[in-house]
Amino acid sequence: MYDSGGLEILSEEECRRLITAAPLGRIVFTDRALPAIQPVNFVISRGEVIIRTSSGSKLAAAARNAVVAFEVDEFDPSVHTGWSVVIVGHARVLSENGELTHVRSLPLRTWAPADHDYYIAIRPELISGRRLPKAA
């Protein structure tokens, strides 16, 4: 199925498959009543997007029980193809010992040099995706 702009509409299953292979995404959250976007590395675990940040970060403060968007994409400009997946859901701080033990065992290593001891989970409530088809 295609949208009115000619982009292929991806199934939820295809969206979930694509995001598991991506190393980097972008989280959209509210900072001082304005939209903010931050690149983050992540993993998918138990159906949720898991992000690691520092406890004093703007993201940590803004993501507590807030509705956020998370976007992952991949494009090849040489052949004009690519895809984009957007997840919308509530973000929550992982704090109980069972959850923390689990996420600390995941292959989620931060790229930033600061201490990142704070974990945020986004449970997908809406998942959508589009693919730019290869030119004929």
DSSP annotation string for 1-38: -B-TTSPEEPPHHHHHHHHHT-SEEEEEEEETTEEEEE
pLDDT at 119 (0 to 100): 84
Phi, psi of 16, rounded to the nearest 5 degrees: -65, -40
pLDDT at 115 (0 to 100): 64
Task: Give the residue-averaged pLDDT of 84-101.
Answer: 86
pLDDT at 11 (0 to 100): 97
β-pairing verdict for 24-31 and 67-76: antiparallel
pLDDT at 114 (0 to 100): 63
| Lowest pLDDT segment from 79-88, 110-119, 124-133 | 110-119
- Give the burial string for 86-96 (b: 16+ CB within 10 Å, else e): bbbbebbebee
pLDDT at 80 (0 to 100): 86
| Residue 111 in this model has a pLDDT that exceeds 70 | no
pTM of the model: 0.86
Task: Give the residue-averaged pLDDT of 86-108.
Answer: 80
pLDDT at 78 (0 to 100): 87
Task: Give the residue-averaged pLDDT of 83-96.
Answer: 91
Radius of gyration of the chain (CA): 16
Sketch out the chain's domains with CATH numbers.
8-132 (2.30.110.10)
Spatial separation of the C-alpha atoms in residues 9 and 132, rounded to whole Å: 9
pLDDT at 27 (0 to 100): 94
